[in-house]
Amino acid sequence: MVKAAPKVRCPQCGGESLWSGSNPWRPFCSERCKMIDLGAWASESYRVPVQETADPLQEPPAAE
């Protein structure tokens, strides 16, 4: 019995995508969705939120 390839949700459009070697764009459903995601990375649309801190190049205050 051959097991069917699992279906996953495309991270870009939310449509169904086959997770198998026959899908060259996995986990995306199409080349279009893959390129949209690549463009978002290239334009730095995806960012990890960070909390602003003091300037790391400044000297720390002198201890008394």
Domain extents in the chain: 7-42
Residues 8, 34: Cα–Cα separation, whole Å: 14
Residues 60, 20: Cα–Cα separation, whole Å: 54
Q: What does pTM read for this prediction?
A: 0.65
For residue 49, the model assigns a pLDDT of: 85
Domain at 7-42, CATH from 3.30.50.10, 2.130.10.10, 3.20.20.70, 3.40.640.10: 3.30.50.10
- SS3 state at 9: strand
Displacement of CA 49 from its chain's centroid (Å): 14
Q: What is the pLDDT of residues 29-53, one digit of tens each?
A: 999 999 999 999 999 898 888 887 7
Residue type, 43: S
Say if residues 16 and 7 touch (Cβ distance below 8 Å): yes
